[in-house]
């Protein structure tokens, strides 16, 4: 009595993720089941990264819990506190969330910690700044029930509320990066950088996500496309955010672009080589350089094609729905590295 609670530790591959030992009961009734309570396994885990979102985090938690429980889905909300100093973690816990602490800053770091802590069959992703209407979360789960592997909420095909998205992002940045992703990966989405999406948790080992920043959103779609997963889109509402934005568009945009190039060696290597090959043909025609240069260019092109073929992952083996539904239990292998988890 009065002594410290014993700690249970699990080894992961990356950072130390601390899960609060007790979550206060929220306004919506009974709190989510404790992490150690395996008697109740949630159907859906809503994972929300949080960095100083005191103005909105409680409302986001309540929206998600209300909507999904009203739809008859056993739900937990996992809020990943990324070093907040404004009491966001306490507000999230009071609203009914299970709070995970990830000290390493970054959108990707926060989500990887949240995925490691999630226990639901489906994972719904959303920001904690009030921009996404989490009352739509049940629609995403219905699409997964209907056979989708990944569901993206499209702001550009839905409703962007006044003041919610800068003109530069809406008309140039987001469409351009989305177009490049579609071209490089061979998928067809309209809003590759939407922060509201859902996927089957059993796919995490195959996706092997590792990005630590905003580019995690692109990495998830790139890997899903390479694996041949079924990606669907739903139109959603996008509302003005509350509080200060953490997005640094020059840096984050460049990181998205670099990730696309790094995962698309055919474009990263073949396009420059094709240009060199054309220059070689022109130079040969003008007798400026010997034919050996053309042969060297051809060898480089062949090497680039080989690299592209070797780097492409194998498509995922599609399973019958019955098997797919049966293997969605908590996975022992999680895509983090180093450190441990204290429950």
Torsion angle defined by CA atoms of residues 248, 83, 16 and 2, in that order, rounded to the nearest 10 degrees: -170
Q: For the packed helices 271-285 and 291-311, what is the interaxial angle rounded to 10 degrees?
A: 170
Please write the tens of the pLDDT for every residue from 126-166: 999 999 999 999 999 999 999 999 999 999 999 999 998 88
Query: What does the block give as tokens for 93?
Result: 């816990």
Instruction: Say which residue, 160 or 316, is predicted with more confidence.
Output: 160
Determine the pLDDT at residue 184: 82
Determine the pLDDT at residue 218: 85
- Considering the entire predicted model, what is its pTM? 0.69
DSSP notation for 238-269: E----S-----HHHHHHHHHHHHHHT-HIIII
Q: Tokens 């002594």, residue?
A: 3
Cα(93)–Cα(61) distance, integer angstroms: 9
Residue 285 has pLDDT above 70, yes or no: no
Residue 255 has pLDDT above 90, yes or no: no
Q: Tokens 């948790």, residue?
A: 201
Residues sharing a CB contact under 8 Å with residue 157, sequence separation 6 or more, in sequence order? 190, 191, 233, 235
Determine the pLDDT at residue 181: 82
Cα(287)–Cα(340) distance, integer angstroms: 65
For residue 24, the tally of other CB atoms under 10 A from its CB is 12
Q: Tokens 């592209």, residue?
A: 308
Determine the pLDDT at residue 341: 40
DSSP notation for 2-27: -SPPPP-EEE-SS--EEE-S-----T
Please write the tens of the pLDDT for every residue from 81-92: 999 999 999 999
Determine the pLDDT at residue 286: 58
């Amino acid at each position: 009595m009065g002594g410290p609670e014993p700690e249970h530790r699990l080894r992961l591959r990356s950072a130390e993720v601390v899960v609060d030992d007790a979550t206060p009961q929220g306004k919506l009734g009974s709190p989510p089941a404790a992490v150690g309570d395996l008697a109740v396994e949630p159907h859906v885990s809503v994972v929300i990264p949080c960095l100083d979102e005191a103005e909105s985090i409680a409302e986001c938690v309540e929206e998600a819990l209300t909507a999904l429980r009203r739809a008859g889905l056993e739900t937990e909300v996992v809020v990943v506190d990324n070093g907040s100093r404004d009491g966001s973690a306490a507000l999230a816990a009071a609203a009914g969330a299970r709070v995970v602490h990830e000290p390493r800053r970054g959108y990707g770091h926060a989500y990887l910690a949240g995925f490691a802590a999630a226990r639901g069959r489906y994972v719904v992703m959303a920001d904690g700044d009030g921009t996404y209407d989490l009352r739509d979360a049940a629609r995403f789960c219905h699409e997964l029930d209907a056979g989708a592997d990944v569901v993206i909420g499209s702001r550009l095909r839905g409703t962007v509320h006044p003041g919610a998205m800068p003109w530069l992002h809406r008309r140039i940045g987001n469409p351009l990066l989305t177009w490049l992703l579609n071209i490089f990966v061979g998928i067809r989405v309209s809003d590759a950088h939407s922060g509201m999406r859902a996927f089957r948790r059993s796919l995490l080992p195959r996706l092997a996500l590792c990005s630590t920043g905003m580019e995690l959103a692109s990495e998830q779609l790139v890997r899903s496309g390479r694996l041949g997963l079924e990606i669907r889109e739903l139109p959603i509402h996008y509302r003005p955010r509350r509080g200060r934005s953490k997005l640094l568009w020059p840096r984050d945009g460049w990181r998205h672009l670099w990730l696309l190039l790094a995962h698309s060696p055919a474009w990263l290597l073949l396009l420059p080589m094709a240009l060199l090959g054309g220059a070689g043909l022109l130079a040969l025609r003008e007798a400026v350089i010997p034919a050996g240069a053309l042969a060297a260019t051809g060898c480089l092109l062949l090497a680039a094609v080989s690299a592209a073929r070797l780097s492409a992952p194998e498509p995922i083996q599609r399973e019958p729905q019955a098997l797919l539904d049966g293997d969605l239990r908590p996975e022992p292998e999680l895509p983090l590295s180093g450190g441990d988890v204290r429950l």
